[in-house]
């Protein structure tokens, strides 16, 4: 008789506090710290280069490039350890899809938010001439509109993460993180002037915590979390090729993802 996999809450919690799980949390902390340091720091750097001008094109271009490079690198360094989430929206999507347990997801969130706060504290202490920037909504947008926009951006990002994590695509290790970084950079270019293009609740939380203002913080949690959950459900139900179709595509059938 085959041994059944334990699914009780206590067994899931025990798995969430194992040594292997601890390595995942440390990996998420390191990768999220690096990403937030680069993402938020790039905004401060752009202000320095443009003498405080926050309306020029480089105020969006520089953070977009930094987000793309930093997220690609951060995901890559933790890809084989924790899965390279670096984002509570990604973690939430993975939990919704059943890829990780809820207790593990909560510890992931804790690691990510602590890392974000620490990264923003480093920036505050070292760059004394500037305050740590926070994500803001443009005057022509409502809170609801910004939340929807952030949700759509998070949907695209998390859907890309699920695609990059699909082993059936046979992608080399380094390729997945590159595509994830590309889509993050593109999202910042598209939405930076309107909602900031956060897509990452931890990043928004850390900068808000250090700055001391949580105005419109719900926008950067509700939208991305709902977008991430929707992406997980859509990919698992529509983006995954059934076994018979997958077999057909390998024998010359034109179906495929």
How many Cα atoms occupy the beta-carbon half-sphere of 207 within 13 Å?
Answer: 27
What is the Cα gyration radius of the chain?
A: 19
Report whether pLDDT(13) > 70. Answer: no
| Homologous superfamily of 19-238 | Glycerol uptake facilitator protein. (1.20.1080.10)
Per-residue pLDDT, 53 = 67
Round to whole Å and give the CA distance between 5 and 248. Answer: 32
Q: How confident is the model at residue 2 (pLDDT cuts 50, 70, 90)?
A: very low
| pTM to 2 decimal places | 0.86
pLDDT tens per residue, range 91-100: 999 999 999 9
pLDDT tens per residue, range 168-186: 777 777 899 999 999 999 9
Per-residue pLDDT, 214 = 93
**Phi, psi values for residue 163, rounded to 5°:** -65, -45
pLDDT tens per residue, range 20-70: 889 999 999 999 999 999 999 999 999 888 876 667 788 899 999 999 999
Per-residue pLDDT, 11 = 64
Cβ partners under 8 Å of residue 125, min gap 6: none
Least confident window among 25-29, 130-134, 199-203: 130-134
Please report where in the chains the tokens 């890309």 appear, as a residue: 160
Which of residues 34 and 253 earns the better pLDDT score?
Answer: 34
pLDDT tens per residue, range 72-118: 999 999 999 999 999 999 999 999 999 999 999 999 999 999 999 99
Report whether pLDDT(1) > 50. Answer: no
Three-state secondary structure readout of the chain: CCCCCCCCHHHHHHHHCCHHHHHHHHHHHHHHHHHHHHHHHHHHHHHHHCCCCCCCCHHHHHHHHHHHHHHHHHHHHHCCCCCCCCCHHHHHHHHHCCCCCHHHHHHHHHHHHHHHHHHHHHHHHHCCCCCCCCCCCCCCCCHHHHHHHHHHHHHHHHHHHHHHCCHHHCCCCCHHHHHHHHHHHHHHHHHCCCCCCCCCHHHHHHHHHHHCCCCCCCHHHHHHHHHHHHHHHHHHHHHCCCHHHHHHHHCCCCCCC
Round to whole Å and give the CA distance between 82 and 27. Answer: 6
């Amino acid at each position: 008789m085959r041994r059944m996999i334990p699914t009780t809450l206590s067994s899931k919690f025990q798995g969430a506090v194992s040594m292997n799980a601890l390595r995942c949390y440390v990996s998420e902390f390191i990768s999220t710290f690096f990403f937030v340091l680069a993402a938020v720091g790039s905004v401060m750097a752009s202000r320095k280069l443009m003498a405080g001008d926050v309306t020029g094109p480089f105020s969006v271009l520089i953070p977009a490039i930094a987000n793309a490079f930093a997220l690609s690198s951060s995901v890559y360094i933790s890809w084989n350890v924790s899965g390279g989430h670096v984002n509570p929206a990604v973690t939430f999507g993975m939990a919704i899809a059943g890829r990780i347990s809820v207790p593990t997801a909560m510890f992931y969130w804790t690691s990510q938010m602590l890392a974000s706060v620490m990264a923003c504290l480093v920036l505050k202490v070292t760059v004394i001439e500037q305050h740590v920037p926070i994500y803001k909504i443009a005057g022509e947008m409502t809170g609801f509109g910004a939340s929807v926009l952030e949700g759509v951006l998070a949907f695209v990002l998390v859907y890309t993460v699920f695609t990059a994590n699909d082993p059936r695509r046979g992608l080399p290790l380094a390729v997945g993180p590159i595509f994830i970084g590309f889509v993050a950079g593109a999202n910042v270019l598209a939405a930076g002037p309107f909602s900031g293009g956060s897509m990452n609740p931890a990043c928004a939380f850390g900068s808000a915590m250090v700055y001391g203002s949580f105005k419109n913080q719900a926008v950067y949690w509700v939208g991305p979390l709902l977008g991430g959950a929707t992406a997980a459900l859509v990919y698992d139900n529509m983006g995954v090729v059934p076994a018979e179709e997958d077999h057909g595509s390998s024998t010359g059938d034109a179906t495929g993802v």
